[in-house]
Structure 1
Amino acid sequence: MADKTDTLRVTPEMVDLEIKRELYHIPEDTTLTICTIELHNGFTVTGESACADPENFNTEEGQKRAKIKAREKVFLLLAFRSRDQAHNQEAKRDRALEKLRDSETAQSDPLLRAALEEVPEPAKLFLSECCEVDGSDGSFASTQEIISAFQDWQVAREKIAWSPSAITRALQRIDQINGKPIRYVKQQVTGWTGFQLKASK
């Protein structure tokens, strides 16, 4: 099975596989080179390159630069597709887990229920690395702040960012950071109490 970091990485080889053909066009009496890349699904992107001094214009160099810019757009499209697929997989998993938690099987099986409620290790690691207990309430302006911080932390490590609901469930089940007690108040506007994000270095 491929690692999650591999599923989110776009490589030059992946870009190559998506390209069906490349077309170049230089409008008459200009130094503008346009590269049009057609993908296998029929979608097209373009890249442009212009030379400020007509005397220095070089067709081969213009095509090379225009192609690079067109390929950059293909790269962005593949990056979006990869991230979107990962997000949909996370959402699908969350829905399946939620359905399983509410099932009669989970309610009647203590071992299964305990496994479903186990705190994921990434949540513990995030709080240990990025948060500190200050003993006061309202350390975060909103629950969204801690969710965004958690997702940024995951992405920085080339991991798939969890959905907000998955993050909330995981953090709700943690009652301490490095041995110091914390608590989560679900209905309060401030949401998370008793700890705060460490200052960015």
Structure 2
Amino acid sequence: MPWQEAPDGAGDVPVTPARDGAAEDIRAFDGALHPDRADGLLAALALLRTDAAHGASLDFARLQHWQQHVLGTPQPPPFRDRPAFAKGGRERYGIGPGTRARLDACLAGSAADTERPVPLTARAARAYLDVCFFHPFDDGNARSAFLTLLFVLAREGVALDSVTLLRRVTFQADNPADALALARFLDVHLTETRRRAAPPGP
């Protein structure tokens, strides 16, 4: 994918939104499905923000830590050990001896790299899609992908005041255009968050 062509969301300058769009969406959307689902996601959101503030690296072990709260399991959920399917079986995600290592390598690419700069919107979108299409868990992969995107932003001091376009759209694994579409959706949210967070003019 030509990730360097993704819109840059007005750069990776830190931004504090006027409201916490991620938490509000979790309470409204996930809370309507089940209160426990929202509570688990909110707990994971708090953890990822702490991890981001400490500059933590992103890998499967980090996702496991969050996903234990997302799913409410007594132990961190393991990497799946069989092929996975999504969208009514139309998409199949294979499994092999090196699948987890490949996921970790992809997630490591979410960090800023001055030698090979890629816009923050692209790095966050790419990490989101990596989790979706590696499909590491038996359940809750969309929620894990959402948290991953938020972590990549938070590690750069960026948060959003709305996430609607990021959680209400389905992306196809075999459609390259969908990847840049996600980066554009993120750019829309990030640009609007910056605009609404800016102090009013004289």
| TM-score band w.r.t. shorter chain | under 0.3
TM-score with structure 1 length normalisation?
0.25
TM-score with structure 2 length normalisation?
0.25
Structure with the higher fraction of residues in strand conformation: 1
Bigger RCO of structures 1 and 2 (CA < 8 A, at least 6 apart): 2
